[in-house]
A and B are shown apart, each in its own frame.
Chain A
């Protein structure tokens, strides 16, 4: 079937089987490798993307489900040359060990901040509860998330000032 998608602000037309997963389309057809294939069952979160600003697990979503919605992947989060504040704090905090889960962590924190601009510690933990990390980098990731809250608030203030 032919399908129109809006990914990272660009619209594209694809001819794919209706039961193809969004992840397969992103990685194989659109060469967007930010989202990772982890468990393939929606359990680990490595494949996360933003759909209408909400976190979504691309490996279990049929691509038809996002037609008419706005999809943002890790690649589409930056504004021009400037990374999204969440991306930047994850780099600054050196939150990566192997880094496979970081796409999902960043997307989940971004989705959290879209909903709660100043979340509590519990809310951060709840938001990342179903993002699995095998390397045990949880403390660094939580620290990066905490910094991201501040950086994001600062970035928002800047945008307002501009």
Chain B
């Protein structure tokens, strides 16, 4: 167990501190827990069964406090393993109302603005009201990391990353009962400061509380690994703040009545561990929301009538964060003002100016507008790849100075240009201009530098990466374009309005003060407003991750089709469907397929139609689906087809999937492509045979399918006809497949299991969909359909090879572990199991294209199906050694086999004690194939050898088909079985099987003797 199953990347990162005897903790959260804005509710722990943990060969401590459950062990893997063996019984809370976390108050929903309140043209008197939200937890960053706590002798040291150190300290105080000066926070990353920039609390705080609680109870330092498992806390903690804004817009297009209402007490949500352990005692205040004078609203605009209210029922002792409140307020107000402008058909920049009286503010906004050449109406976006939507947004804030005087405070005007990839949902800021009016004696160069660094820092959690089950971790989603960083510019106002004489407070403040979080207040709204301009979807709650943006865009299209076109939506639709002739948008009702009809041919989409980003994503999708493995003939051109497949029903040939119009898929529209992938129907309406695993591909997400289409269409077209299939009657009647599909095919796309981790869901998505593992590893019924239930992954015969079981039926002599599975899939070899060969070798070669995370995810998912632990135990490693030493000598009475083995095999398969470059790294004693019920893979390997030239590190074995007779192969196989799998029964009728497998076969290049 010394070697971690997730070896190479982040986990190798050293612990931040030189602590002795660090233990590793894993928490087990309840199946249900939620913060509804006023109280925390969770499933109640009823019963704990620790028997399986107690029986483990290593030590694992189980910590239970109310509904808090944690497991601590000597290694992280051991802790995960033990946690998985802990049997917990939870009781669901009885209150049904909690299923909807936001009681009585409307949830902020992202919306298509034109349909939100009907359509009105400029000039009409109208009322509107919208809700905006702020999440209770932000993401902690893009990389997982350690959080360590060490509690001893009334002193608590915590190493981690936080954006809210005061709140974290407050929570730690409440947790441990220590005083403030007995708690110290340190950075866990030597290259980064303790306090990361961010726009709210992140899950690092929850991990810190977990580590501190475990450390206090067990009296030893505890390290917790902050990774996707903590993403559940983000969902559970819901919203930290909700804001309701409403307005009445006059016929002249001015806001007459304006109301701002903050509906939650302005506090931050306490860490999950505090709630679950019951150490947090909340005295909820029943105060109704009241208007408050002491509460700063920082409203820069002037309206005829305004009502500003805030809920001030502070939960006792909960800390507040005025900075964050300012950021939240600005986001809600600037989004709302933007919505009002759009809904009343006005330019959002003019609309703001109309409601400002502050001259400095007006001048600042005008200056920024000049810098970007703001146009009314917005200029037509330049043509580019069709899936790129472009938009521009503006936001403004005026925040108080340190004495809470607004008039002398900082004015800040932002304009952002963004690009949205509507397939991936990725948002990229292409240009950002910030005007900051911060007084006379500011070092502009330094301010600009700070601003750039910070803007990039702030934008990341907003747009950043939240891996979803169909997110390709290497794709550049939600980034601030690096090349464009230089263009992020600062315009500083040098006008009489900020003459020192008239702004003496400013002049006396220290020069070049570093920027505070509040200065970035407009940064969130500016992206939301630009997103609306680009997509027509109003995001009323950060963050704007690729996944959220993509989902919103898909819903938009679904909704769009039910709406009749109106003047307000026309502009949007025009831009949206610019390339509609070629691409149908995802999500457009799978039910509506014309089942038997042909889909009209189109001319091949121009290779420049899609962005490089989308095509790259498509390349990864193609690698995961390993299209080329089947669609490339032996020695042929990639994806040209013509590879033969022997099936019980006859011989099938793969088709040409290059974008050649006559012989390939060049004339296929996206709709036709999607129908083939999801429903197994060719463009011309004929049914495809399920040798093409559309039953698995149907699980692919829309975004991935579109990217795959983009990728395939961007490849060179090759003209090549596909050989005619040779199927026996009645299987040659394609139409029969309609009935087959009705019986056996479920075309619903993959749905992630919310009870499982991100890693598991990603693995399930890849293995069950694109990776189509089950196409080979699940047995099929008499009709060629994959079986389900216990038969899922139960192993099957494919192309004369046995695809071994990937569930609990696995016969590997040493049980598989997640670690071994990862090694096998990533490197083609596991020291405890051997190498990938036969049809699996090209699969491993294809997986080589995939990012690290994806291969880990597949290993994780398959391990779960096998019930395999994270790593192999010491006992299992010892057993492997014993098996090897037990098989050093030949069994008696098998001299013929022994001779064959000594002559043909021993030079590579026997350890002579000398190092050799050829020697097979894994002893045959550990070879799964020799322990299988069937001899097929052993015979195949002897006949055809092991060839995996594309996977570096896998040895090659020559085939012996030409030098051994059937009898010799059978004798050798029997000998190998007897010597290396002595506890398994001998194989029967070997010679006959050898003769059958000797038939010419596309996977083996040997000739028939």
Contacts and interface: CB of A to CB of B under 8 A. Distances in A.
A126 B956 contact: no
A113 to B, nearest CB: 11
B907 interface: yes
A56 B956 CA distance: 12
Contacts of B957: 60
Interface in B944-961: 947, 949-950, 952-953, 955-958, 960
Contact of B916 (A55, A62, A116, A123): A55
Contacts of B958: 40-42, 59-60
Given A40-B958, A64-B949, A129 B912 contact: yes
B837 to A, nearest CB: 14
A130 interface: yes
- Which of B912, B915, B916 has the most C-beta atoms of chain A within 10 angstroms of its own C-beta? B916
Interface in A57-78: 57, 59-62, 64-65, 67, 69
A56 B963 CA distance: 22
Nearest to A69: B917
Given A42-B907, A130-B907, A61 B917 contact: yes
Interface string B896-928: 000000011011100011111110000000000
Interface in A29-70: 40-43, 45, 51-52, 54-57, 59-62, 64-65, 67, 69
B904 A115 contact: no
A69 B958 CA distance: 21
A14 interface: no
A89 B521 CA distance: 83
A41 B762 CA distance: 42
A60 B918 contact: yes
A54 B960 contact: no
Interface in B662-676: none
A21 B868 CA distance: 38
B914 A41 contact: no
Contacts of A57: 907-908, 918
Nearest to B905: A43
A127 interface: yes
Contacts of A51: 917
B382 to A, nearest CB: 39
B950 to A, nearest CB: 6
Contact of A43 (B907, B912, B914): B907
A65 B952 contact: yes
Contacts of A60: 908, 918, 956-958
A127 B919 CA distance: 13
A18 interface: yes
Contacts of A65: 952-953, 955-956
Contact of A41 (B906, B912, B963): B963
A19 interface: yes
A62 B916 CA distance: 15
B908 A42 contact: yes
B914 A55 contact: yes
A45 B915 contact: no
A124 to B, nearest CB: 11
A59 B958 CA distance: 9
B914 A115 contact: yes
Given A41-B963, A42-B907, A61-B918, A127 B952 contact: no
Contacts of B947: 19, 62
- Which of A43, A57, A64, A112 has the most C-beta atoms of chain B within 10 angstroms of its own C-beta? A43
A42 B905 CA distance: 8
Interface residues of A, number: 30
A43 B903 contact: yes
Contacts of B915: 54, 111, 115
Interface of B is mostly: loop
A129 B906 CA distance: 10
B196 to A, nearest CB: 39
B256 to A, nearest CB: 73
Contacts of B963: 41
B949 A62 contact: yes
A111 B914 CA distance: 8
A18 B952 CA distance: 11
A51 B915 CA distance: 11
B913 A64 contact: no
Contacts of A129: 906, 912
Contact of A18 (B914, B949, B955): B949
Contact of A55 (B904, B917, B960): B917
Given A60-B957, A65-B952, A42 B906 contact: no
B960 A41 contact: yes
A152 B864 CA distance: 55
Nearest to A123: B913
Contact of A54 (B907, B916, B950): B916
Given A123-B913, A127-B912, A41 B918 contact: no
Nearest to A39: B963
A51 B914 CA distance: 14
Contacts of A126: 912-914
A114 to B, nearest CB: 9
Nearest to B960: A41
A7 to B, nearest CB: 14
B904 A64 contact: no
Given A18-B949, A129-B912, A56 B918 contact: yes
Interface string A97-133: 0000000000000011001100000010011011000
A19 B956 CA distance: 10
Contacts of A130: 906-907, 912
B914 A56 contact: no
Contacts of B956: 60-62, 65
- Which of B908, B914, B917, B963 has the most C-beta atoms of chain A within 10 angstroms of its own C-beta? B917
A57 B953 CA distance: 15
B849 to A, nearest CB: 16
A112 B915 CA distance: 9
A51 B919 CA distance: 12
A54 B913 contact: no
A52 B915 CA distance: 10
Contacts of B913: 123, 126
A19 B949 contact: yes
A59 B918 CA distance: 11
Closest 6 CB pairs of A and B: A56-B917, A130-B907, A18-B949, A51-B917, A54-B917, A62-B949
Given A57-B918, A59-B958, A61-B918, 17 more contacts: A41-B960, A42-B918, A43-B903, A54-B916, A54-B917, A55-B917, A56-B916, A60-B956, A62-B947, A62-B949, A64-B949, A65-B952, A65-B953, A65-B956, A111-B915, A127-B914, A129-B906
Interface of A: 18-19, 40-43, 45, 51-52, 54-57, 59-62, 64-65, 67, 69, 111-112, 115-116, 123, 126-127, 129-130
9 contacts: A45-B907, A60-B956, A60-B957, A60-B958, A65-B953, A111-B914, A127-B912, A127-B914, A130-B906
